[in-house]
Homo-oligomer: A and B are copies of this chain.
């Protein structure tokens, strides 16, 4: 008992020194926690931007318009370095691993849906010239880029696309692009070596103004009503994947540059 009492002040002193160590009931984040328990924002940009990106990729962030100003360099480094292509490739591997487990009926109804922009095709050359998502979206400028029909393939998605075709999946391309862009979209897909899709679905007059998540869910419902089994769906936006008539498995590709509801 006596030695225990003697040790107490030392123990309290040590506890004060190691303030980043877990207290019994609450893990400490940092010394800069505010009273409310949230740490303040004077935090390293990289740590902030990594957390921001995760919140975007998990859909926790919800709606956002442009990337945080402090994350411009982070997003540029991510998109132009090794991480973006490798993250994309990881998703393609996950997708293929699942696809190989699907029992194919051989009736042509086993299908997979791909989004196009930042899923099959990469608009990185456009976004490199337009601030990697730090500038407000300029539809007319982007449409001019689309008209060039020179967006490169996302290589991992091209490999996946070919592998799924080889496995016998019927491939649907479901995009938020409009019917008026059908010709340039087909031209670009062929330029990027995508071939053999079953149907390219674009927004028609009756789809205008609908949120992407509704438009895409409605189109998936139509495919199901036609008898297609939608095993997988690949998209860089959660609005490609959620809603109703969702695929058995959804695969979220990375995209820290823009958000579509």
Contacts and interface: CB of A to CB of B under 8 A. Distances in A.
A15 interface: no
Contacts of A122: 27
A156 B33 CA distance: 10
Interface residue tally on A, bucketed by range = 35 or more
A91 B55 contact: yes
Given A27-B85, A60-B252, A91-B55, A38 B159 contact: yes
A117 to B, nearest CB: 14
B153 A27 contact: yes
Interface stretch (A17-25, A132-140, A168-176): A17-25
Given A39-B89, A55-B91, A83-B50, A191 B125 contact: no
Contact of A58 (B23, B192, B252): B252
Nearest to A93: B38
Given A39-B89, A51-B86, A60-B91, A155 B193 contact: no
A48 B89 CA distance: 10
Contact of A26 (B48, B89, B192): B192
Contacts of A51: 83, 86-87, 89-90
Nearest to A22: B152
A86 B20 CA distance: 13
Contacts of A50: 83, 87
A62 interface: yes
A84 to B, nearest CB: 9
A94 interface: yes
B22 A125 contact: yes
A240 to B, nearest CB: 12
A47 B193 contact: no
A44 to B, nearest CB: 8
A193 B25 CA distance: 8
B86 A251 contact: no
A86 B192 contact: no
A30 interface: yes
A125 B36 CA distance: 24
Given A26-B192, A47-B82, 12 more contacts: A26-B153, A27-B122, A27-B153, A29-B86, A50-B87, A51-B87, A54-B57, A54-B90, A58-B58, A58-B91, A60-B90, A62-B97
5 nearest CB pairs, A to B: A37-B159, A51-B90, A58-B252, A29-B85, A60-B94
